[in-house]
Amino acid sequence: MAPTIKKDLRLTSGILWSDLTDHLPNYFLILNENENTTLTRPYVRLFSDKNIAEFKHKLSTVEWDTLYKYGNINDGNYYFENKIRECFNSSFRPIKLSRKRS
């Protein structure tokens, strides 16, 4: 959960000093002071060989002849994008990243 109140954030800054170079790099850190913050694992898609094969199979079963029946190019493009998106989303379902991988 991202902090929503500015008072939960603490800014720390400084200069990295070294006599070895003539550059003077600066840095700053934005730290969250909220103790109730819990890290949530993101959702990812697995592109395994099995899922790729399923995606290809679903694409091959789509009725592509319907695409040529549209008189308006925008409607045809919408149909094409929608079918690709449906096949993609059903083959590569978002799953929560495992604790081991995170």
| Domain ranges, ordered by start, for the chain | 43-96
CA atoms of 14 and 29, how far apart (whole Å): 9
Question: What is the arithmetic mean of pLDDT over 47-69?
Answer: 94
* Mean pLDDT score of the chain: 84
Q: What is the pLDDT of residue 21?
A: 65
Q: What is the pLDDT of residue 27?
A: 82
pLDDT bracket for residue 12 (50, 70, 90): confident
Beta bridge partners of 94: 45
Q: Do 47 and 91 touch, CB atoms closer than 8 A?
A: no
Does position 76 have pLDDT exceeding 70, yes or no?
A: yes
CB-CB neighbours of 87 under 10 Å: 19
pLDDT bracket for residue 18 (50, 70, 90): low
Helix residue spans in the chain (DSSP H): 49-60, 73-91
DSSP state of 42: P
